[in-house]
Structure 1
Amino acid sequence: MGLQFKLLLRAAVNQKLFKGFTPSIAVREGQLEIIGVLLKVRASQHTCGEALLEARCHTRARCVEWLKNSDLIWPHVLVYALVTACYGGFKDMGDVFLSIIVCSFSQWLLPSEGGHLECEGIEKTWRIKQDSIAREVDILSSRNQYDIVLPELGPYVLDFTSSGHYMAVAGRKGHLAVVDMINMNLIKELQVRETVRDVVFLHNEMFFAAAQKK
């Protein structure tokens, strides 16, 4: 994307057109790629909130996920979208908003231990398939399945940002990488040529620390 085009988008993304804000129009048409571009050129929280409400009316669940993962949605907008979706009869969208709210705020509202699998009798956790788990979890969680094959430089350890937007991977043989889990883009990758035992994000996705052998 050229610099002039970026500047043009940045200038227009937060201006209201005759059909609404640009992100709202993209949501209305279900254009996920355009939404991604608009988020990258810094759409404002206000325009993203308007786009979220537009997604509610047009039952664009995938658009809602993209907007929420941008960290540009105010909490009260999510609550308002949930209430109006339920009142307007958009049950599926109400479920989507409720799942997002619970996932986003459970760490503050309902502090508890991390989730785990619990088996009955002689059943073994390692025999439970991902497909079986997907059938039992909420809609948003079931859509977050992915398969990454890294056969050569492992075993690997992983860490995620609090929003789940970014993943850091560290291979025992020195492979480090950061991946955007929304569109599966590789953000950065390096080979430190040392044993790596662990990796963790610091205050945001731009900084991480790795436990390396000196």
Structure 2
Amino acid sequence: MKKTILAALVALAAASAHAQSVGVQWGNIVYASATGERTVLTDTGADASPVLSPDGRLVAFTRLRQGEQAESGDPQSGPLADVYVMRLADHHVTKIVSAAHSNDPTAELSGIRSLTFSVDGATLYFETPAWAVAGAIHAVPLHGGQRFVTDGNGFAVVRHGKYVGDLVVQKHRYMSGRGSWNPEVIVSAAGKDVRVLGEFGDDEYAVGRALRNVEAQQ
């Protein structure tokens, strides 16, 4: 009986250790610890899209440039919001991406959204507007060196199974003489198409459905 109770307590402690979360309140990043304690991490009123690193030690977020509007009417560009990473231990903040407009869709760094850490937490992925029918997926190692990965309209990092570390990306593709379609595709971290999965619907949850399918594969 004692062993059963001890095992339950250990399991509960392990679950609690992963119960951290981050959110946004009035343009500021708010952190909630595993115990439920809340801490306001920033006070600019211009921060958004926070995400925790897999080890729970870092939080990445965007910060809107002064004078920029949060929304843009141009589907191929967006507001200029830089990307920052904060170390939770001491609240040290580092800017890792400087937003910028470009005539090259693969280098357009405005409208940054969907911040997502890699499995090992060493790289941050994000999406930007790019072409009329597709956005662009980028990667930036935390030590610097942002790069374009692939075109896509939504993505997710595979964290379990056969394709761990790869991305599931929704792509807009044209079929010879048969119009277009929007399949989910497994893409390597280097940007190479690994496997076409097919369509998983035409709504915002399609990538999530495809991700669950991929993560179930051993």
Give the helix-richer structure, 1 or 2.
1
- TM superposition score category, shorter chain reference: 0.3 to 0.5
Give the strand-richer structure, 1 or 2.
2
